[in-house]
Chain A
């Protein structure tokens, strides 16, 4: 679940090169229908019968940010337990029903959403939707699975407590979003998890799993009429309205600070970031392009070239835009041997200052735009990924025509935009967390 939280951001979004837009195959794969069920429930559908399966993705507005005060981990525990028994089926019987037909049903949480993904062979789709319905409207939260999952969560938290990656990441978010729900650990803490009871989970379900915050996308071998009927039977019994705790708007804090945590590991882990761009900011796409140039491109970014390729300091270095409902940030990470941590930190700071000051070159801008325009169709290579992306478009309120508009938005980014936005994105300095052997990991002044 942890991974799901930070991976919201960086999927590249573009339709293919223009030559393909007119190809019949492309049209088939990217035609998105808006399906409104007889009961008024909306879903986006990509109908494709090539493979006899149906993939569905859902998001309920809510997520980790809806954990009750003082009880981090409730959303995450709810996701882990909601498929451990529902209606008249206990945990084992529910799992049997899924396994017998090879139905894949997964629940997870991000900071802002409670997410569900379902994958089923076409002939089992009614059973799959029925099991999903039961999990959503009649989860049992029996004592045995609750204690079992609690033990698993505590075991993972203990394990994470000495993992440099987890320490660096948690510390970054806790520092950037101090006293805000976004700063809380998604999976809870060793103190909070023992206090979470079935009532907390039921309360979360009651408050969050409602029709008004629900976004749905479906990809696969199903038509609009059949889907419409299934939407009503599956989601019709959910409450009409969620009761969400208001979450304040917030900016990442502590920019310019370095938090160093001692841990005796051969490789020092570094997390860094700062304020980003809201998804609705008119400069969002320019920021997306600039970030790609700085640290987003897996092979081509400045950080990759300078830190990894030229100097061999690291295996991985990356930087993503993170856009949340109530905050925006950029967030990156890397790891290097303890005795070169200071050098690596200084280099990252220097490279980001340089792009803030000078902006990208014309050529970098042209290449990044070219990549971003081409990469969307290429990255959406499975039904489940397409469904997940279409849900994200809905969560971000981008409109069903966004896929057609996106390349125009990328093309519209000028070098002047890129320079201005680079300054705004990277000119303010970094909040950095560093986990490793203390003496050499302690950053030198820059």
Chain B
């Protein structure tokens, strides 16, 4: 569930901000007779350009992905990648504060941005004829950002309110933060994307500009253009607007400290007086689509689908229907990551049921898959559902753009993306059994418990 780790600059008009459109696994457009195929090329300055034609309506989406996210921050300034994302809307010398957004708004377009552990992305969706204007303005802010404390300081308060809204007010989100921090002993994925509160409070203009100058460059970016466009048009426009920006020679390979071999099963308990419904979640350290051996990541996709997607999944059937000990049960696999990622399982116990009972039932389901594998019809069903996602995705320009951008920004290739349905089709029952046996072992995991804090209120910092 990549949306968990993504933050969006604006909550738009909905009461609760949904971060990004759900896309839990990297699907792709399987080549279809009627569809124009995706294409890619790279400018001389290192900017990778991807074109995803979609001629249904005269609309185009521009999305620029920077290969920098929260996991690329220096320790001590957590939240900086996300803070900079907010500040990227504060204008340049050429297009002062508000001009870009006003241009988008005047034509009825939409725009936003989001930050994850591995990438930061900015997008606009506009009528096709406005695409050159959008490209000119987006290229301009790749290196032209101007920041003053007048705009930086109020925006830091906005981010602190975003922290309050997403994390501080939500016991669920606070537990997830703690579980991830425990899961990663060494890798920066253990730091929250939005940052730790006391570090967000101190982020400033100089930090933001230094980060910007270090990471925002054509040779550290991917430009994805989807919609009613052709590759040669896009190439001309990209050369014109992005081509003149010089490459930054100091862009370095993204080598983060890696996890040691996990040695101990861990648990984390978060108690909050507002918890009326206890819940449990377990995260396992597993390979991502980028780090996995061939076929291994697709097997984990299928395993997550089988174990915990929907009411016919193994966990739901065992815990919620057959044993009737849980209100809900899910599993997911966050496959799009540069480094070692997470496979998650969660359940909400029924009243009177202990966490131990829930965990025993989860362990039995996993042990059964690891020992005995899965039935052919269940394997087929899981694969059908996953492969269909690739077709459904083609109905949504935004989903397509995000799949391509996120996969490329985490080290996959266009070929990897296009081939994903085939890799899923190739998964065997034995692959799934091996994936469960290899990766879903308790020493690789942290289990988090959300419980009601019945004790009198202790000190809590008032932010």
List residues of chain A with CB under 8 Å of any chain B CB. 3, 6-7, 10, 12, 14, 16-17, 19-20, 23, 25-26, 28-29, 48-53, 55, 91-92, 95-96, 99-102, 104, 119, 121, 144, 148, 151-152, 155-156, 158-159, 161-165, 169, 263-267, 269, 296-300, 308-316, 318, 320, 333, 335-339, 367, 370-379, 381-384
| Bound Cα distance A314, B161 (Å) | 5
Q: List, in ascending order, chain B residues with CB within 8 A of A17's CB.
A: 107-108, 127, 129
What's the least CB distance linking A20 to chain B, in Å?
A: 5
Which residue on A lies nearest to B197, using beta carbons? A266
Do the beta carbons of B169 and A121 come within 8 Å of each other? no
Q: List, in ascending order, chain B residues with CB within 8 A of A23's CB.
A: 58
Quick one: given A159-B276, A312-B158, are A296 and B109 in contact (CB under 8 Å)? no
Number of A-B contacts (CB under 8 A): 229
Chain B residues with a Cβ closer than 8 Å to the other chain, count: 81
| Bound Cα distance A163, B15 (Å) | 13
Do the beta carbons of A102 and B327 come within 8 Å of each other? no
Quick one: given A28-B56, A119-B392, A313-B157, are A148 and B162 in contact (CB under 8 Å)? no
Do the beta carbons of B154 and A309 come within 8 Å of each other? yes
A-B contact pairs, 6 of them (CB 8 A): A99-B385, A100-B384, A119-B392, A144-B321, A370-B107, A375-B108
Quick one: given A101-B384, A299-B10, are A338 and B462 in contact (CB under 8 Å)? yes
Do the beta carbons of A377 and B391 come within 8 Å of each other? no
Quick one: given A25-B57, A297-B105, are A264 and B273 in contact (CB under 8 Å)? yes
Q: Which of B239-247, B296-304, B393-401, B437-445 contacts A (4 or more CB under 8 A)?
A: B393-401
What's the least CB distance linking A101 to chain B, in Å?
A: 7
Do the beta carbons of A267 and B168 come within 8 Å of each other? yes
Quick one: given A19-B129, A371-B105, are A316 and B56 in contact (CB under 8 Å)? no
Chain B, 189-235, CB within 8 A of any chain A CB: 228
8 nearest interchain CB pairs?
A374-B108, A312-B157, A316-B11, A102-B388, A312-B154, A375-B108, A267-B164, A162-B274
Q: List, in ascending order, chain A residues with CB within 8 A of B155's CB.
A: 312
Q: Known contacts A7-B14, A298-B10, A378-B127; can you find 13 more A-B pairs with CB under 8 A? A: A29-B56, A50-B56, A96-B312, A159-B276, A267-B164, A267-B169, A299-B104, A312-B161, A315-B162, A318-B14, A337-B164, A376-B108, A382-B395
Chain B, 141-168, CB within 8 A of any chain A CB: 153-162, 164-165, 168
Which residue on B lies nearest to A384, using beta carbons? B395
Residue B251 lies at the interface, judged by CB distance under 8 Å to chain A: no
Q: List, in ascending order, chain B residues with CB within 8 A of A91's CB.
A: 311
Residue B310 lies at the interface, judged by CB distance under 8 Å to chain A: yes
| Bound Cα distance A163, B385 (Å) | 34
Q: List, in ascending order, chain A residues with CB within 8 A of B32's CB.
A: 52
Which residue on A lies nearest to B55, using beta carbons? A25
Q: List, in ascending order, chain A residues with CB within 8 A of B153's CB.
A: 312
| Bound Cα distance A28, B370 (Å) | 51
Q: List, in ascending order, chain B residues with CB within 8 A of A338's CB.
A: 462
Quick one: given A17-B107, A162-B274, are A335 and B169 in contact (CB under 8 Å)? yes
Quick one: given A26-B57, A378-B108, are A337 and B161 in contact (CB under 8 Å)? yes
What's the least CB distance linking B127 to chain A, in Å?
A: 6
Do the beta carbons of B165 and A315 come within 8 Å of each other? yes
Select B127's contact among A51, A165, A374, beta carbons within 8 Å: A374
| Bound Cα distance A43, B388 (Å) | 26
What's the least CB distance linking A43 to chain B, in Å?
A: 19
Q: List, in ascending order, chain A residues with CB within 8 A of B55's CB.
A: 25, 50
Do the beta carbons of B398 and A298 come within 8 Å of each other? no
Quick one: given A20-B127, A298-B10, A338-B462, are A48 and B107 in contact (CB under 8 Å)? no
Residue B457 lies at the interface, judged by CB distance under 8 Å to chain A: yes
| Bound Cα distance A100, B101 (Å) | 45
Do the beta carbons of B109 and A378 come within 8 Å of each other? yes
Which residue on A lies nearest to B384, using beta carbons? A102
| Bound Cα distance A308, B457 (Å) | 31
| Bound Cα distance A175, B162 (Å) | 28
Q: List, in ascending order, chain A residues with CB within 8 A of B328's CB.
A: 152, 155
What's the least CB distance linking A329 to chain B, in Å?
A: 15
Quick one: given A148-B321, A383-B395, are A100 and B381 in contact (CB under 8 Å)? yes
What's the least CB distance linking A90 to chain B, in Å?
A: 11
Chain B, 283-333, CB within 8 A of any chain A CB: 310-312, 317, 320-321, 324, 327-328
Quick one: given A312-B155, A378-B59, are A16 and B127 in contact (CB under 8 Å)? yes
Quick one: given A6-B15, A100-B381, A379-B110, are A316 and B165 in contact (CB under 8 Å)? yes
Q: List, in ascending order, chain B residues with CB within 8 A of A164's CB.
A: 169
Do the beta carbons of A381 and B11 come within 8 Å of each other? no
| Bound Cα distance A319, B128 (Å) | 29
Select A95's contact among B169, B311, B460, beta carbons within 8 Å: B311
Do the beta carbons of B273 and A265 come within 8 Å of each other? no
Do the beta carbons of A300 and B16 come within 8 Å of each other? no
Quick one: given A19-B129, A267-B164, A378-B126, are A155 and B277 in contact (CB under 8 Å)? yes
Residue B375 lies at the interface, judged by CB distance under 8 Å to chain A: no
Quick one: given A144-B321, A316-B165, are A121 and B16 in contact (CB under 8 Å)? no
Do the beta carbons of A335 and B161 come within 8 Å of each other? yes
Q: List, in ascending order, chain B residues with CB within 8 A of A372's CB.
A: 108
Residue B62 lies at the interface, judged by CB distance under 8 Å to chain A: no
| Bound Cα distance A381, B153 (Å) | 36
Which residue on B lies nearest to A373, using beta carbons? B108
Residue B261 lies at the interface, judged by CB distance under 8 Å to chain A: no
Do the beta carbons of A102 and B127 come within 8 Å of each other? no
Do the beta carbons of A99 and B310 come within 8 Å of each other? yes
Select A381's contact among B15, B59, B311, beta carbons within 8 Å: B59
Do the beta carbons of B276 and A370 come within 8 Å of each other? no
Quick one: given A312-B155, A378-B126, are A29 and B57 in contact (CB under 8 Å)? yes
| Bound Cα distance A91, B320 (Å) | 13
Do the beta carbons of B12 and A298 come within 8 Å of each other? yes
| Bound Cα distance A158, B348 (Å) | 12
Which residue on A lies nearest to B388, using beta carbons? A102
Do the beta carbons of B161 and A264 come within 8 Å of each other? no
Do the beta carbons of B105 and A311 come within 8 Å of each other? no
Select A299's contact among B105, B125, B129, beta carbons within 8 Å: B105
Do the beta carbons of A265 and B169 come within 8 Å of each other? yes
What's the least CB distance linking A57 to chain B, in Å?
A: 14
